[in-house]
Structure 1
Amino acid sequence: MFIFQWLNDQLLRMQWLSDLVTSLVQNVFGLNTQERLGGSIQFFIYDVIKIFILLSVLIFIISYIQSFFPPERTRKILGNLNGITANILGALLGTITPFCSCSSIPLFIGFTSAGLPIGVTFSFLISSPLVDLASILLLASIFNWKIAFAYVVVGLVLAVVGGTIIGKSKLEDQVEPFVYSNKVVEVAQEDLTIPDRLGFAKDQVIDIVKRVWLYILIGVAIGALIHNWIPEDIISAVLGEDKWYSVLIATLVGVPMYADIFGTLPIAEALVSKGAGLGTVLSFMMAVTALSLPSLIMLKRVVKTKLLAVFFFIVVIGILIIGYGFNAFSYLLI
């Protein structure tokens, strides 16, 4: 147990990095990290370096695994299943695609045009930006393993339930006709060598870091601001777990934003440290990643208003239930 705790603190939480940055801020910059300015600089430098290290390592590993599941192979796997089994597998396959919601939509179009049931493709669409393998370790690095696993489980449940409901609603006519008319070309999957897979993983790391670095910097900056400059009583008064409206506010605030889990984690970390409810900050994270306004605008181009509204309603209700549930039972996870 001691060994696991040490590995968790040093490899995942990177306590050594926190101590190093604290020493840097105090001895080189001459600032006290217990004060606002010094604490903000320490929070920013430490979180930025930690997130980029974890992100690069995790995306490399995930992308290597993903190289075994190209879209064509994924389509064939899903095409052989039906019912809730297909929804579950669609949600699980979403976890090995480290995409934001906007990046997931082209795959959604490809799966739908290939003839997969829309319920399965929506399970994938919900799961892909919301839950991935990296989120487990990143959440554990900031909170703990219980919270990380609980988040992943409820995220997958939301994806499966949401996709199943949409599938049972018989809304195939609410997908724009051009999606079904797209031709899917059968391409033989070449066997990739280990160097090919390593190269693919490296390219994915570079591509994803290029796409998310700005959101990470913004998220960490906001987190540092909340952590060191906004009084705890203000956060607790608005977003405390005892406030019935906190989850609703967090969800509504999250929808217009556009980021991914890597950019929202520093904000969540700071909010929880200031007294915000755990379920409240998780609802915020889910709303930002699964229901961002840009992704909804892109999705509107491929589905009609009725289907978009059903998707939005299901996910919002699911996020609210999850948020209130985490607030009610957070004492079991902390």
Structure 2
Amino acid sequence: MFNWLDFLIQGLVESVFGISMDTRLGSSVHFFFFDTIKIIILLGIMIFLITYIRSYFPPERTKKILERFSGVKGNFMASLLGIVTPFCSCSSIPIFIGFVEAGIPLGVTFSFLITSPIVNEAAFAVLVASFGWKIGLLYVAFGVLIGVVGGIVIGALKMEKQVEEYVYQVAAAAEIEIQKPTRLDRVRLSWDSVKDIIKRVWIYLLIGIGVGAFIHGWAPAEMLAKYAGPDNPFAVFIAVVLGIPLYSNALGTIPIAEALIHKGVGMGTALAFMMAVTALSLPEMILLRKVIKPKLIAAFVLITGIGIILVGYLFNLIV
């Protein structure tokens, strides 16, 4: 897809910068410019398309859709809606309260909360740019699977009493008539979203790509393959444990994962680390503590963490 860009960047490195592509420096410089341009191109396209789709699923409509489903169908639908519905740490509390208000089962709510941060348009775009459509689609499928299974398990544990009492006491919000946007409104919203998201994440991208470029050119491949390769039975587990307490933008971790994979680190190991950082960040847990009790937070982290570990091992087996 980006052969033309690879050719241009090689010419830039060798003809303009005067650096041989056979050197470590040339390899690093090529990685940095090539990944920066291709990621921004795909990121812009995916943000525009997904934001356009999202415009059809405001929070009130999302709740109304989920109210129609029960059982496993509810978990599955919640996970699918999590893909196209915005969710981040700052929106966790109002979304959680809104779902509880609507009478949506706790397990279904958690299917949404698990999938939404893992699978988003930005991460998908960067994954496609770095690893191709096959890996991107597998990542989405496994992200949905973790959400569905995690929600089912949490629902089966009957932990409704682990939700803070005031959440149930919040009066149901009055029905608000939502004005339907025009097609032009949706296009403008999508374009504004592209500009806003790229403006907010570009620094994370450059830092991540810079670290990835260094790893690509200078990190010892033999050592990384030995300790973090797919043949190490503990690599995925360690990657998830290390990722859970960290707070980092997922977009910044993907270029690093790409460089590590090129050096021999297992695909599942790298993606499991990224999933753990994205779905189980410490700030998100702190905010969720305002609406759920520690026992439920521990169950959420444990169940999601185990799901990510299993997916990591599965990725290492099939890719």
Match of 2:308 among 296, 319, 332: 319
**Residue ranges of structure 1 left out of the alignment (5+ in a row):** 1-8
The one-letter code of the counterpart of 1:228 is G
**Contact persistence 1:279–1:325 (CA under 8 A):** yes
* Correspondence 1:125 to 2:113: yes
* Correspondence 1:277 to 2:227: no
Between the aligned partners of 1:102 and 1:227, the Cα distance in structure 2 is: 34
**Contact persistence 2:89–2:287 (CA under 8 A):** no
**Contact persistence 1:100–1:289 (CA under 8 A):** no
Instruction: Determine the structure 1 residue equivalent to 2:50.
Output: 62
**Contact persistence 1:129–1:260 (CA under 8 A):** no
* Correspondence 1:328 to 2:317: yes
Pairs within 5 Å for 1:287-326 = 287-326=276-315
Post-superposition shift, 1:48?
Answer: 1.5
Pairs within 5 Å for 1:1-334 = 9=1, 14-97=2-85, 99-100=87-88, 102-133=90-121, 135-183=123-171, 184-330=173-319
Between the aligned partners of 1:91 and 1:282, the Cα distance in structure 2 is: 19
Alpha-carbon displacement from aligned partner over 1:16-74 (angstroms, at most 9, x marks no partner): 22221221122222122332222222211221222122111111110111101100011
Between the aligned partners of 1:242 and 1:133, the Cα distance in structure 2 is: 31
**Contact persistence 2:42–2:129 (CA under 8 A):** no
Between the aligned partners of 2:278 and 2:271, the Cα distance in structure 1 is: 11
Matched-pair identity in %: 51
Measured at CA, do residues 99 and 51 of structure 1 come closer, stay the same or move farther in structure 2, by a change above 3 Å? farther
SS across alignment from 1:95: helix
Between the aligned partners of 1:16 and 1:117, the Cα distance in structure 2 is: 50
TM-score w.r.t. structure 1 length? 0.89
CA RMSD of aligned residues (A): 1.9
**Residue ranges of structure 2 left out of the alignment (5+ in a row):** none
Which 4+ residue blocks in structure 1 deviate beyond 3 angstroms? 98-106, 132-138
TM-score w.r.t. structure 2 length? 0.93
Between the aligned partners of 1:55 and 1:98, the Cα distance in structure 2 is: 16
Alpha-carbon displacement from aligned partner over 1:187-232 (angstroms, at most 9, x marks no partner): 1121211111112212222332233222212211121121111110
Moved more, 276-285 or 212-221: 212-221
